[in-house]
Amino acid sequence: MTDPYAAAAASAEQLASLTGLDSHDIAVVLGSGWAPAADAIGTPDVVVPLAELGGFPEPTVPGHVPAVRSVRAGSHRVLVFLGRTHLYEGHQAATIVHGVRTAVAAGCRVVVLTNAAGGIRAGLRPGQPVLISDHINLTGQSPVAGPPPPGGYPSRFTDMSEAYSAKLRAVARAADPSLEEGVYAALTGPHYETPAEIRMLRAAGADLVGMSTALETIAARHLGAEVLGLSLVTNLAAGLSDQPLDHGEVVAAGQQAALRMGTLLAEILPRLA
């Protein structure tokens, strides 16, 4: 993308044309295997293939659907992205965050990022949702690196002191007091981590590990949107169980927990923004 901000603005304009809505309030990005959760969030008024918006490559990972839904949640109009792209698919950081930038350009001031994650902290179990309290970006990438943003956009020196909104986490816990919190470590993938790497991540303070979310959070915070992060623990991280890691099982775990996750999101979304 020559100008990723202009590309996002163009995609947002096309979104408004196809949905018939000038703006949306909240964006939700669903992680691996979470697409069925979209049905629990609400019946879509419009479903738009991402290919019609421009700037969105076709996902190559099972469990990610190249479409966005426009759904009403209480008084809010919500964009539900049924998947995402990843660095390990060969994309640049600007491509990875194009959905988030498009959503903010479309008016969203709250971005809910979900993912499938490996559990590192003792006691976390497959099928458990965990609020992200902070992240460790180990991808070596940043969506605000490179040429400075054009005029009218914030400085690229983005403050990440509160990457994940404490206020939004409190709203989520009010909806489900059983929700725990944890620090998410983002790596590039697509290979899973070694047991030694998991020991390193644990020593660094990580409770969860995955291959997404951090860059999207940086892009959202750069543009002034608040972020709520929610991980679904789909497996124990490498070396913490006798089972080999398999992406098919990650997607299956996400699908099995989809109704619970969708119900949780449906409870949370009307209380946000």
Active-site choice (117, 235, 257, 273): 235
Which pLDDT score is estimated for 1?
Answer: 58
Please name the amino acid found at residue 99. Answer: G
Compute mean pLDDT per 10 residues along the chain, 273 residues long, and list them. 91 97 96 79 94 90 85 94 93 97 98 95 93 98 96 96 97 95 97 94 98 98 98 85 70 74 91 81
pLDDT tens for 5-56 read 999 999 999 999 999 999 999 999 998 767 778 888 999 999 999 999 999 9
Residue 116 falls in the annotated catalytic set: yes
Active-site choice (7, 105, 247, 266): 247
Residue 11 falls in the annotated catalytic set: no
Query: Are the C-beta atoms of 169 and 133 separated by less than 8 Å?
Result: yes
Range of the structural domain that residue 80 is part of: 4-271
Which pLDDT score is estimated for 209?
Answer: 97
Sign of CA dihedral 226, 113, 67, 186: positive
Active-site choice (5, 13, 76, 88): 88
Q: How many domains does the chain have?
A: 1
| Coil vs helix vs strand at 143 | coil
Which residue in the block uniquely carries the two structure tokens 């449906």?
Answer: 266
Active-site choice (8, 73, 94, 211): 211
* 202/87 Cα distance (integer angstroms): 23
Which pLDDT score is estimated for 100?
Answer: 98
CATH of the domain at 201: 3.40.50.1580
Whole-structure pTM value? 0.94
* 256/234 Cα distance (integer angstroms): 10
| Coil vs helix vs strand at 265 | helix
